[in-house]
A and B are shown apart, each in its own frame.
Chain A
Amino acid sequence: MLNHIIYWLTQKRWLIISLLLGVILINLPTPEGLTISGYHTLIIVIIAILLIISEPIPLPATALLIIILEVVFGIASPNEAANSFMSDAVFFIMGSLMLAVAIVSQGLDTRLALGIIRLTGNRTWKIVLGFVGISALLSSFIGEHTVTAMMMPVGLTLVRYTNKDIGKIKRLTSLILFSIAYGSAIGSIGTPSGGGRNVIMLDYWRGFGIADISYLEWMKYTYPMLLVEIPLAVLILWFTFTPERKILDSAVRKLKVQVAKSGRIKGREILAILIFIAVFLGWVFLSPKIGLGIVALLGVVSYLIFGLIKWEDLNRNTNWGVIILFGAAISLGVQMTETGAAMWVAEKAISGLKFVTPNIEILRWFVAVFLTGVMTNLLSNAATVAVIGPIVLNMGGDQILLGFSTAIASAFAYLTVVASPTCMIIHSSGLITSRDYLKAGWKMFLMSAAVLFLMYQLW
C-alpha cells in the first residue's frame, strides 16, 4: 500500500508542486498595482501552465480545474465562467478537428500525391519545394494537422520506395518529413481557418472591442509572409538535411503506379471536395454574420448528412479533452483582461525588457513574439495565444499588428516534438529524433522571426 502511495506521489509530483506553489503564492501579499482577482487569475495561469507542460493529470482535468479555481477564487461567478468557456473560437476548434477527421478519411491523399508528382517531377529539390509549397497552401485553409496527416503517408511511401533500408537515406527522410511538417506550420498563418489560434485572436479582437477582421482581411496581412517563407524554408531544410539522393526517379515511378491503382476520382471524393469549398466560401462570405465556428460546424453536419463520415468515427477521432482545455484557456484569457492581470503582466514585461531596445514599438513587438515563440514550443500554439493574447493586446501600441504578430509567432513551433501536432505527427513515424527538430528548428525560428519583423515594418 505504502509503495502504491510512493508511486502515486512520484507520478503526480508536478501536480503537488503546482498546487503547493499555488498555496504559497496565494498567501503572499498581492503585488503592487494588481487587484486581488488579477493576482488570483495569474496564480491559476501559473498552475495551468505547469500542469499542461508536465501533464501529471489528463488535460481535461486541468481544464476543469481552471474553471473550478476561477469560481472558487471568486474571479467569476459560475455563469460568467460558463459564458467565457464557450465561444465561436471553441466552436471553430471543435469543428476544425471534426473536419480534419472527415477530410482525412476520404482518402484524398492519393490525389494529393499525384498532384505533387505531376507538378514536381523527379528531382529531389523540386519534390521538397512541392511538399513545402502544397502543405503550406493547403494548411492555410484546412489546418496544419489535417494536411500533415494526409501528406505524411505520401512522403513516407516515397522514402520507402527510394530505399527500403531507411537508415541509408536518413537525411532524405528527415528532409521530406520536415518539408511536410514545417510547410504545414508555415501555411497555418495564412487564413483564420489555418489554426484555432487565429480564430482565438479574432475572437479577442472582437470581444475586447478592438476590431472585426474579416477572413480576406486576415489573408491580406499574412499571405505575403507565407509565400515568402516557402522558398526560404526549402533552402534551410535542404542545407540542413542535404539528401543522399538528388533524383528520385524510380521512387516517383513506383509511387505513380501505386497511386494509379486508386483509379479515377470517385463521386464521394468530389462531393467531399465540394463541401469543403462550400465551407471555405462560408468562411469568406458568411463568417462575419454567423462566425467561423458555426460555418465549420455546418461543414461537419454536411459531411454527416451526405454519409461521407460516420458519427462514430468523428467521435472516436476527435479530441474532446483538447476542446475543453481550449475553452478553459480562452476563459482564463478573458478573465486576465477583465481582472487587469493582463495589463499588469504587459507593463512588467515591457519594463523588464527595456534593455533590449529603447524603441517602444519594436520592444512591444519583441515582447509579443519572444513570449509567444517560447511558449508555443513548450505548450500548444492555441493555448499560447489564448494566454499570451490578452497580455499582448494590453501592451499598448497597435493592437491589430501586435495581435497578428502573436498569432503568427505561435506558428513558430519548430523546436520541440510537443510544440505542435505537425511535429508530433512526423515524430510518431519513429524516423525523426528530438535532436533533428533543434537542428533545423532554430534556423526556421530565426528566419520566420526575421520575416515577421520585416512584415511588421511594412504593414
Chain B
Amino acid sequence: MKFLIAIGGKEFSEPTLQVGLAVAKAFNATTTIAYVGSKVNAFTADSVRLAQESMERWEIEQPGVEVLEWAYNYLAGNKYIDPLSIEAGFQKNTLVETAVNRLQLFLSGTFCKNVELILRRGDIIPELRSEVEAHNYDVTIIGGSQKRRMAHDLVQYIDSSIFVVNHFDNSKKYKLLLAVDDSKGTSNAVSYGVRVAKAFKMPVDVLTVSKKEHFGKGYQDAHMHALKVFERENIQATSHLKVGDPVKTIKDSAGEDHIIVMGVSHRNPIAKFLFASKPLKVMEECKCPVLIVK
C-alpha cells in the first residue's frame, strides 16, 4: 500500500505526522511525506527561479526544505528510517527533481522499504491531486487544522482514501468508531478499521444509524458482518444501533475520543458537490480524526 502524508509546516503538523506514520506503519505502507510550498505566479516564475539559483550559491536553502528537514528529524528521532539514513543526516543536496516542480528525497524505512520526502510548489489541491494521480496512493493523510474548504475539496476530488487528523490529542486514549451502513464503501471501511484497531490496540464501537425506527436488511447484514470480522480478529467490538440523523448521531457518538472510520459516499458527484455527502459532513462537524475509505 502507498500512503501520502501532507504536512503544512513545522508549527502545526506534528500530530499529522505522528498519527500518519503510525497508521502507515500499521499497514506496512510505503510512505511519502509531502509539503506544498506557496505558489509563484507565472509572471515572476523565472525571476524567482533565478533568485533561488543565486541563493543556492550562498548555501541558502529554498523555502520548504527546512520543513522537509524537520520531517526528516521526526523520522530519525522515532526510528522510522534505517540507521544508515539517520547516520547520513539530512542530505539536502540529494533532493532530486523527479518532475517539474517536484523535489524528492529517498530514504530507507524501517517499517517499509521506502520513505520519501517531497517538496512541491503551487496550489495545494491541484498539487496533491496530481501527486495522488501520478503515484496511485491508497490513503492521503492531512491535518485537521487546515482550512475546512480544503479538506472538503480533498475528499471530493482526490482519488484515494482520506484520513483527516482532526483535533488529535496525544494524551487521549482513543477508541475506534466504525460507521457502517449498506453502502458499497462499508466493506473496505471494515478492513481498514480492523487494521487500525489492531495497530493501536483500540476497542471498537460499530455504529449503524437509521433514519427510520426499522433497520433495513442491508443495514442489519452490514452491521453483523462488521461485528463478525472484529470477533474473528479478536478485537473487542461493541454494537450500537441508533435511530436519528446519521451525521448528528455519528458526531454525538464519536465525541472527541474516537477515530471515526467510514466508507466514502457513492452519491452522484454533482449531488455531492452541491449538497455535500454524509462523510463530508461528518468530517466537517466532528472534533476527532476521520478516515474516509474509498
Contacts and interface: CB of A to CB of B under 8 A. Distances in A.
Contacts of B37: 430
A325 to B, nearest CB: 8
Interface residues of A, number: 45
Interface string A290-326: 0000000000000000000000000001110110010
Interface residues of B, number: 33
Given A7-B129, A153-B57, A153-B58, A104 B50 contact: yes
Interface string A87-115: 00000000001001100110101000000
Contacts of B55: 152-153, 156
Nearest to A154: B58
Nearest to B268: A2
Given A107-B57, A149-B54, A421 B270 contact: no
Majority secondary structure, A binding face: helix
B50 A322 contact: no
Interface stretch (B40-48, B68-76, B162-170, B195-203): B40-48
A392 to B, nearest CB: 22
A7 B64 CA distance: 27
A150 B55 CA distance: 8
Interface string A50-61: 000001001100
A378 to B, nearest CB: 11
Nearest to A418: B41
B38 A150 contact: no
A428 B48 contact: yes
A97 B52 CA distance: 16
Nearest to B63: A430
Nearest to A150: B54
Given A7-B157, A321-B42, A145 B57 contact: no
A317 B54 contact: no
A265 interface: no
A58 B42 CA distance: 8
A55 B63 CA distance: 23
Contacts of A428: 38, 40, 48, 51-52, 62-63
A105 B53 contact: yes
A415 B47 CA distance: 19
Contacts of A380: 43
B64 A59 contact: no
Interface in A181-208: none
Interface string A1-25: 0110011001100000000000000
Interface of A: 2-3, 6-7, 10-11, 55, 58-59, 97, 100-101, 104-105, 107, 109, 145-146, 148-150, 152-154, 156-157, 160, 317-319, 321-322, 325, 380, 383, 418, 420-421, 424-425, 427-431
Given A101-B50, A424-B48, A427-B38, 6 more contacts: A3-B157, A11-B126, A104-B53, A109-B58, A150-B54, A431-B63
